A and B are shown apart, each in its own frame.
Chain A
């Protein structure tokens, strides 16, 4: 077995929103190149968990390290660390005042200090990768939801980061557009990138996940490889949840 070190490591992490205990004693790690899918009912803390990884939320206690750097509130390293962590949001969050190409190049140019022509070559390469090279000059508002989300994925790829986080990337999409986004994500998974993905798309999860995680009420209930997770999970709560979402 090849040795892989954890690139993301949660150690007894707790997170509160006021009195609400959003994350309860989270201990979990993600290895470099691992593809982890997190699922669970809404309000279970999955989004909070994934948003802690790049410091969009700050945990209150415990220790979180990403790529060897500790993440904590007010950390000076977080800006540099975020360059190594791409994120794809439920609501796409493309920059509406920039064209697709500019959306993709602004990070490399301004943050990574890559020259503009070089950044544009890279941006077009990744647009090709997400199958929309012809949309480069358009504004986000001119694209369909599925196309916007693929642009958002390409934007994360352009930063050439080590880790990609997906926060319910298909939840805001019309049903007929979900597959075009999932296809791109499956292709990405094949490249060996470290991925942490919050999603309810169990077909996708079965296809790509190395590890399945089930969360409920701020706790991690079940961590298992997909074969075991989908056939005989240890916890009843997880089984109930899976029965409900796999029913239809």
Chain B
């Protein structure tokens, strides 16, 4: 094939020793951005998703309609288009930077998926639990807070961990608006060095390791939760 492999170049993008001692390389900074980006977006998505799910379950005509419209709107647009929309259209209007745009976009996209997970989890709690909570005079907010949500976590946890992983993976797409996360930094290095093969392989492996760690962590959490329950 005639490709000039230069694997020996790769470690310096991960870590290096300089006069100042140990330093992380560009790819590790990119990974850090990927992680912080994903987790901030995920936290926001859970809050938004919970609001959506509660709105959908509220029984209010308008609430349900708003939630369903939002859900259909987000679900039927490609994520890439949503990224462009949030950066090139809403960005200038509301004056936020690319990093904020990427967090908002990922949060909105995943909130739609998460709201469905939450809704299914809430619906999985037995009807009798609502009745018992009502019968001791709880308000709707108290029923959710003390009785329903704590029980539905058990049903939500497995699909939710899948959603975290999905989030980390789909965060790569914000490289199209040049947010300095793992994929973007990889592209930058390639345009400097033309080491496409080595860098893409390395990036794939980094994503894989992160996601495997997440999966292991998730199954630990799940196991612990079912035992105490």
On A, residues with C-beta under 8 Å from B are: 54-56, 79-83, 85-87, 89, 91, 93-97, 106-107, 110-111, 152, 155-156, 159
Contact = CB atoms under 8 A, between A and B. Distances in A.
Nearest to B131: A56
B20 interface: no
A45 to B, nearest CB: 18
Contacts of B132: 87, 89, 93-95, 152, 155
Interface stretch (B61-69, B102-110, B145-153, B204-212): B145-153
A82 B146 contact: no
A211 B128 CA distance: 28
B135 A54 contact: yes
A82 B133 CA distance: 10
B97 to A, nearest CB: 42
A159 B137 contact: yes
Contacts, number: 64
Contacts of A152: 132
Contact of B136 (A80, A96, A107): A107
A159 B138 CA distance: 11
Contacts of B142: 110-111
B229 interface: yes
B134 interface: yes
A112 to B, nearest CB: 8
B151 A97 contact: yes
Interface in B56-99: none
B156 to A, nearest CB: 14
A83 B137 contact: yes
Interface string B186-224: 000000000000000000000000000000000000000
Interface string B4-25: 0000000000000000000000
Nearest to B135: A87
A114 to B, nearest CB: 13
Contact of A93 (B131, B137, B229): B131
Contacts of B139: 79
A83 B126 CA distance: 22
B129 interface: yes
> Which 7 pairs, one residue from A and one from B, show the smallest C-beta to C-beta distance?
A83-B137, A93-B132, A107-B136, A93-B128, A87-B135, A82-B137, A111-B137
